[in-house]
């Protein structure tokens, strides 16, 4: 269903992206990758949103460090992803996210991210005014900037069994941001929404997806 395209960021950087859906789809959405790149799973996520009526773009955020990165879910893949992430300045990553939003060509655009992308969705909501809705699934590090002001409605999803994001961090986010929607899934760990990971939890995924689609439909 999807295809690889090229985006141009404001600083002149050209990056690849996965596009799914059609320009005349009812809604537009930027999908932000895990620490594993725009791999098979993220492309499938994009295609799923396209089936739900979205024009979707997932920017290849590792392109500034290394092009064509698609990692699996072995421990060494996570380590490689962390290395690539650390090689890219946060401002540059935000520029690439905004390039994806610009490509969609609409005033009303949403953003959803997973793992690293979940934290980036929060950053996009607090560091730009481009998005009308932002959703983060198990985004690590959000607690460190929990007092930042979101410029659009935000919805966050966390697993109670997440071994990367302690519940104390999740509760700190909830206390600092009483106006956002925040959900905790009791039987879910980190990466619970990815069927290619051992931590996949089907019931939590279905409920989080249902809530995400309802949130986007309401705000876009």
**Closest of 10, 132, 113 to residue 58, by C-alpha:** 113
Q: Active site residue: 41, 46, 55, 115, which one?
A: 115
Confidence check: pLDDT of 25 > 80: yes
119: domain CATH number?
3.40.50.1820
Q: What is the pLDDT of residue 67?
A: 96
The radius of gyration of the chain's CA atoms, rounded to the nearest angstrom, is: 16
Residue-level pLDDT at 39: 97
Average pLDDT over every residue of 78-89: 96
Q: What is the pLDDT of residue 132?
A: 98
At 153-198, the pLDDT tens digits run 999 999 999 999 999 999 999 999 999 999 999 999 999 999 999 9
Q: Residue 173 belongs to what domain range? A: 3-219
Q: How far is the C-alpha of 220 from the C-alpha of 114, rounded, in Å?
A: 20
In the set 41, 157, 190, 219, the catalytic residue is: 190
Counted domains in the chain: 1
Q: Which of 63, 96, 162, 169 is catalytic?
A: 162
Q: What mean pLDDT comes out for the span 53-65?
A: 98
What percent of the chain is modeled with pLDDT above 70? 100
Give yes or no for residue 97 having a pLDDT over 90: yes
Sign of CA dihedral 57, 22, 72, 63: negative
209 DSSP assignment:
H
Whether the pLDDT of residue 1 is over 80: the answer is: no
Cα(139)–Cα(184) distance, integer angstroms: 12
pTM of the prediction? 0.97
**Mean predicted confidence (pLDDT) in 77-106:** 97
Q: Is 115 one of the catalytic residues? A: yes
Q: What is the mean pLDDT of residues 38-66?
A: 97
pLDDT at 38: 98
């Amino acid at each position: 269903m999807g295809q690889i395209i090229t985006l141009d960021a404001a600083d002149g950087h050209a990056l690849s992206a996965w596009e799914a859906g059609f320009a005349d789809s009812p809604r537009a959405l930027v999908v932000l990758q895990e620490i594993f790149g725009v791999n098979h799973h993220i492309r499938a996520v994009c295609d799923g949103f396209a089936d739900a009526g979205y024009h979707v773009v997932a920017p290849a955020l590792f392109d500034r460090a290394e092009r064509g990165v698609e990692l699996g879910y072995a421990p060494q893949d996570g380590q490689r992803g962390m290395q690539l992430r650390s090689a890219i300045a946060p401002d540059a990553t935000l520029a690439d996210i905004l390039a994806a939003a610009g490509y969609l060509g609409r005033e009303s655009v949403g953003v959803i991210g997973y793992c690293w992308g979940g934290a980036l969705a929060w950053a996009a909501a607090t560091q730009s005014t481009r998005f009308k809705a932002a959703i983060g699934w198990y985004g690590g590090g959000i607690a460190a900037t929990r007092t930042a002001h979101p410029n659009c409605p935000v919805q966050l999803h966390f697993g109670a069994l997440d071994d990367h994001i302690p519940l104390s961090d999740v509760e700190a986010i909830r206390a600092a941001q009483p106006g956002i929607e925040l959900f905790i899934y009791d039987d879910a760990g980190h990466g619970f929404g990815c069927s290619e990971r051992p931590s996949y939890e089907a019931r939590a995924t279905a409920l989080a997806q249902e809530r995400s689609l309802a949130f986007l439909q309401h705000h876009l």
